[in-house]
């Protein structure tokens, strides 16, 4: 539109110039018309020159803007590279520090193992030869003590994990850590076999300590993927009442309280019932650090649940058959369908253990049980490669699963 108006203006000026030259310049009509055309073309050329100059200025301005934008982008990229390098260096430093910490932990526990194992060497009577295939309960105490001593000394203390799942979804929510000792021929020595011998010999603190270190290694690996997972770590009564070991244990957990949400310490009801004032103070100290406690091997249901809450307990494990048919024999003050609510009022979550068939699951769901544990959902599996531990959040246990393709795939 502006260009059209410009050309109309040029035409008017040209016509006026031609008329003026014809009337006042004494030019004939042809010459004045030609002069008018020349004026028109000159004006058009002048306008074209001016427009081109303006376009060049606009182009130069655009190039300047582009160069400025490119400089800003380059600067932003350099800043991003610098920040990425700093973040990578910080992560490498953190990883190296963590690796050093784990190495230090292993060195500490190895030292403790040698010290404790050596301390009982003089107490043990001459050992009889160990059986070639399976470790039996009938082994004499000196023989079992020697088997335990050698297993600890040679670091043949294995960590097993068993899943605890949500119901009815059957998704893994926790793991329980279990200790197994291996004899030289590979036979498994179960807790029911070694605790009764290792406890009086002062070795349970060593076993618990090693279990704790390995739980922490697994937890640190799991929390790289998710902080929603937690591991139940069993602590024996011998450890709880060990006046020399437990203060050191509390000091160590104080330095590692960042794992308070991922490690749950578990004690049996019998241990708790015999706990001294000092032992109860130890429990409260653990809870004060933020660590949750769990009560298992429960056989009596006339417990002081308010006291459990004050001591720091958040979980109570109960056998499925007891909830289904043994409440009265266990001295429960409420019916089975009200037991979960009784615990909840005292800050306790109910976990039903030793679930082995689908019939039990159907019955337990009638009581609105939220968590289950047992061979139906997965048997304890050894953690052989801590570096192969993966995120368990999406793991779902199917009926009759042994977790050979689930837990074993995720935990090595």
Is 390's pLDDT higher than 60? no
Give residue 336's Cα distance to chain centre: 34
Q: How much is the pLDDT for 363? A: 92
Task: Put residue 347 in one of left, alpha, beta given phi > 0 → left and psi -120 to 50 → alpha.
Answer: left
**Is there a cis peptide before residue 168, judged by omega within 30 degrees of 0?**
yes
Q: Where are the domains of the chain?
A: 90-297+378-411
Q: Which residues contact 311 (CB under 8 A, 6 or more apart)?
A: 280, 283, 284, 287, 293
User: pLDDT-derived band of residue 358, with 50, 70 and 90 as boundaries?
Assistant: very high
Q: Which DSSP string corresponds to 5-74?
A: HHHHHHHHHHHHHHHHHHHTS---HHHHHHHHHHHHHHHHHHHHHHHHHHHHHHHHHHHHHHHHHHHHHH
Query: Could you tell me if 293 and 313 are in contact, meaning their C-beta atoms sit under 8 angstroms apart?
Result: yes
Q: How much is the pLDDT for 201? A: 80
Q: How much is the pLDDT for 310? A: 95
Averaged pLDDT for residues 77-86? 78
Instruction: Say which DSSP state 124 is in.
Output: S
DSSP three-state, residue 168 = coil
Give residue 190's Cα distance to chain centre: 29
Q: How much is the pLDDT for 220? A: 82
Strands (E), 235-378: 263-268, 292-296, 313-319, 349-353, 371-373
Is 23's pLDDT higher than 90? no
Q: How much is the pLDDT for 139? A: 65
Is 361's pLDDT higher than 90? yes
Mean pLDDT, all residues of the chain: 78
- Taking residue 158's Cβ as centre, other Cβ atoms within 10 Å add up to 20
pLDDT tens, position by position, 391-412: 444 455 443 333 333 333 333 3
Query: Could you tell me if 367 and 340 are in contact, meaning their C-beta atoms sit under 8 angstroms apart?
Result: yes
Query: Could you tell me if 255 and 229 are in contact, meaning their C-beta atoms sit under 8 angstroms apart?
Result: no
Residue 52 Cα distances to 48, 58, 66, 366, angstroms = 6, 10, 21, 87
- Taking residue 34's Cβ as centre, other Cβ atoms within 10 Å add up to 14
Q: What is the pTM of this model?
A: 0.64
| 90-297+378-411 is classed CATH 3.40.50.1980 | no
Q: Which of these ranges, 205-209, 214-218, 289-293, 408-412, has the smallest mean pLDDT? A: 408-412
pLDDT tens, position by position, 41-76: 777 777 778 778 777 777 777 777 777 777 778 777
How far apart CA 325 and CA 285 sit, in angstroms, is 36
Q: Which residues contact 300 (CB under 8 A, 6 or more apart)?
A: 269, 330, 331
Q: Which of these ranges, 30-39, 165-174, 398-407, has the smallest mean pLDDT? A: 398-407
Q: Which of these ranges, 26-40, 181-195, 251-265, has the smallest mean pLDDT? A: 26-40
Q: How much is the pLDDT for 3? A: 64
């Amino acid at each position: 539109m502006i260009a059209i108006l410009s050309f109309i203006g040029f035409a008017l000026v040209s016509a006026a110039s031609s008329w003026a030259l014809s009337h006042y310049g004494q030019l004939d009509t042809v010459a004045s018309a030609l002069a008018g055309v020349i004026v028109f073309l000159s004006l058009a050329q002048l306008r074209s020159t001016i427009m081109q100059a303006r376009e060049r200025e606009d182009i130069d301005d655009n190039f300047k803007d582009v160069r400025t934008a490119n400089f800003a982008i380059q600067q932003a990229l350099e800043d991003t590279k610098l920040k990425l390098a700093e973040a990578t260096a910080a992560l490498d430093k953190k990883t190296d520090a963590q690796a050093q910490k784990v190495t230090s932990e292993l060195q500490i526990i190895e030292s403790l193992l040698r010290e404790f194992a050596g301390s009982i060497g003089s107490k043990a009577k001459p050992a009889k030869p160990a059986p070639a295939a399976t470790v039996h309960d009938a082994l004499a105490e000196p023989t079992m003590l020697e088997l335990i001593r050698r297993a600890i000394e040679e670091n043949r203390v294995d960590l097993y994990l068993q899943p605890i799942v949500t119901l009815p979804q059957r998704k893994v929510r926790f793991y329980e850590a279990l200790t197994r000792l291996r004899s030289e021929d590979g036979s498994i020595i179960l807790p029911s076999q070694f605790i009764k011998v290792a406890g009086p010999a002062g070795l349970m603190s060593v076993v618990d300590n090693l279990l704790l270190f390995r739980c922490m290694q697994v937890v640190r690996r799991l929390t790289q993927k998710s902080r929603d997972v937690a591991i139940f770590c069993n602590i024996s009564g011998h450890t709880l009442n060990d006046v020399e070991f437990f203060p050191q244990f509390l000091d160590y957990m104080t330095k590692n309280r960042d794992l308070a949400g991922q490690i749950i310490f578990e004690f049996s009801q019998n241990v708790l019932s015999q706990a001294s004032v000092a032992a109860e103070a130890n429990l409260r100290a653990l809870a004060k650090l933020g660590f949750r406690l769990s009560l298992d091997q429960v056989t009596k249901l006339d417990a002081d649940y308010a006291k459990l809450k004050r001591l720091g307990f958040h979980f109570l494990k109960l056998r499925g058959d007891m909830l289904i048919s043994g409440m009265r024999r266990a001295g429960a003050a409420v019916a089975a369908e009200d037991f979960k609510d009784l615990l909840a009022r005292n800050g306790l979550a109910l976990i039903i253990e030793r679930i082995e068939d689908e019939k039990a699951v159907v019955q337990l769901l009638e009581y609105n049980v939220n968590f289950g544990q047992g061979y139906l959902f997965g048997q304890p599996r050894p953690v052989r490669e801590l570096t192969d531990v993966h995120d368990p959040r999406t793991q779902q246990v199917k009926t009759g699963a042994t977790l050979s393709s689930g837990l074993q795939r995720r935990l090595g």
